[in-house]
């Protein structure tokens, strides 16, 4: 039976989410309509908003529903930049290890809006250089329109010091956004305590459906919209609500946080079982980011003498689903920008693979992967020698 170890790419949809989505699909009513059908749909939607707000420790009105984490990231980064540009701020600050949902809109702002984009580097463990950020803020605070640093990296799972980033940003009166798509449901996130201006999350990383996400935007802090036409969501994200997906999102969130600590502890034990097993059968392998705090389910491992694409295909042939990094860049033949930023050479970066564990992963899944890996590794090395 195939083994799915790519939960960082997407998770199986939870039964409660499927049920909530199916029930909402059977209902009639646009949440923006004023008649009884619309009011009933709106009541359901606002209940979902409140459920998600509780998990994120934010006010329900701070949640703006989107079609994806990517849309939330674009809305935040571009909106905060345009807001800053209006008062003469032209600098966008990001980290060198951001997901392409931040890297690419930052590049777009540079190419089309004249933004100056500055990337903050990371150390060999993949943690951003706070001193580099602090120095930049001390010198150029009045030029910076927005700082965007992810809460945890999607390839290595390394958790970033977001609260400290926010504190530094506030010292220069700079809005700060965090891409928390990979983190939500896997580490505690309190929007009110982190001190962020904005944060992006997505449903399909914690058992919800693909095609719905949210931007959490602090009360009283509006930004220019990407989409216009209906005035929904504080007039920041127009468009008819995808009520079935939103209801499923909320159901998945509620289930995740019912046993949050126990669930993550179990996933962490499975991660450690997988890591220890890999290092035992492949002594020369090493886990990237192993010396610092990481999300519980991500294992990014370098296996010298192999090519990650070859490993991926051979494992897939054996029924083990994993990845070489972000699913959004799958099939692109280039080394991971995250590992390069951590100081790896191109050859090493091309020898790394990501396993990611989730709520539905079992010990048998991990053991089967460990049973198959040594033979696959040898075949990958032989292929690399040709």
Q: Under a CB-based contact definition with an 8 Å cutoff, are residues 54 and 184 in contact? A: no
CA distances from 183 to 104, 162, 173, 228, 332 (A): 20, 12, 26, 30, 24
Q: Assess whether 328 carries a catalytic annotation.
A: yes
- According to DSSP H, which parts of 57-177 are helical? 69-85, 100-113, 130-140, 162-171
Task: Give me the catalytic one of 58, 281, 322, 328.
Answer: 328
Following DSSP, what letter does each residue of 311-324 receive, concatenated? HHHHHHHTTEE-BS
In angstroms, the CA 64 to CA 250 distance is 13
CB 237 within 8 A of CB 64: yes
Among candidate residues 334, 358, 180, the one with its CA nearest the CA of residue 264: 358
Percent helix, percent strand, percent coil in the chain, to nearest 5: 45, 15, 35
Catalytic residues: 328
């Amino acid at each position: 039976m195939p083994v799915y170890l790519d939960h960082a790419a997407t998770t199986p949809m939870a039964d409660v989410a499927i049920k909530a989505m199916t029930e909402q699909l059977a209902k009639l009513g646009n949440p923006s309509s004023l008649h009884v059908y619309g009011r009933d749909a709106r009541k359901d939607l606002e209940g979902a908003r409140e459920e998600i707000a509780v998990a994120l420790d934010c006010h329900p009105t701070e949640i703006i529903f989107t079609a994806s984490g990517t849309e939330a990231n674009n809305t935040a980064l571009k909106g905060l930049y345009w807001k800053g540009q209006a008062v003469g701020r032209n600098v966008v600050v990001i980290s060198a290890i951001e997901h392409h949902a931040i890297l690419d809109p930052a590049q777009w702002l540079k190419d089309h809006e004249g933004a100056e984009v500055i990337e903050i580097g990371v150390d060999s463990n993949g943690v951003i250089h706070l001193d580099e950020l602090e120095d930049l803020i001390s010198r150029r605070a009045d030029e910076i329109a927005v700082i965007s640093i992810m809460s945890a990296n999607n390839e290595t799972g390394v958790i970033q010091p977001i609260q400290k980033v926010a504190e530094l940003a506030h010292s220069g009166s700079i809005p700060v956004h965090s891409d928390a798509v990979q983190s939500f449901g896997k580490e505690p996130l309190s929007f009110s305590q982190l001190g962020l201006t904005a944060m992006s999350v997505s449903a399909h990383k914690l058992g919800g459906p693909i095609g719905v996400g949210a931007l959490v935007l602090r009360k009283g802090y509006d930004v220019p919209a990407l989409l216009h036409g209906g005035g929904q969501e504080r007039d920041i994200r127009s468009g008819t609500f995808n009520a079935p997906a939103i209801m499923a999102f909320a159901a998945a969130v509620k289930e995740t946080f019912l046993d949050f600590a126990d669930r993550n502890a179990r996933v962490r034990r499975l991660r450690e079982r997988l890591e220890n097993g890999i290092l035992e059968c492949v002594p020369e392998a090493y886990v990237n980011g192993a010396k610092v705090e990481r999300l519980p389910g991500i294992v990014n491992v370098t296996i010298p003498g192999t090519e990650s694409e070859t490993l991926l295909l051979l494992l897939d042939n054996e029924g083990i689903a994993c990845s070489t990094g972000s699913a959004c860049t799958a099939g692109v033949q280039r080394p991971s920008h995250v590992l390069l930023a951590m100081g790896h050479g191109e050859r090493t970066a091309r020898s790394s693979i990501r396993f990611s564990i989730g709520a539905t992963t079992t010990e048998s899944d991990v053991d089967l992967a460990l049973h198959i890996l040594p033979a696959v590794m040898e075949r990958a090395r032989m292929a690399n020698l040709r």
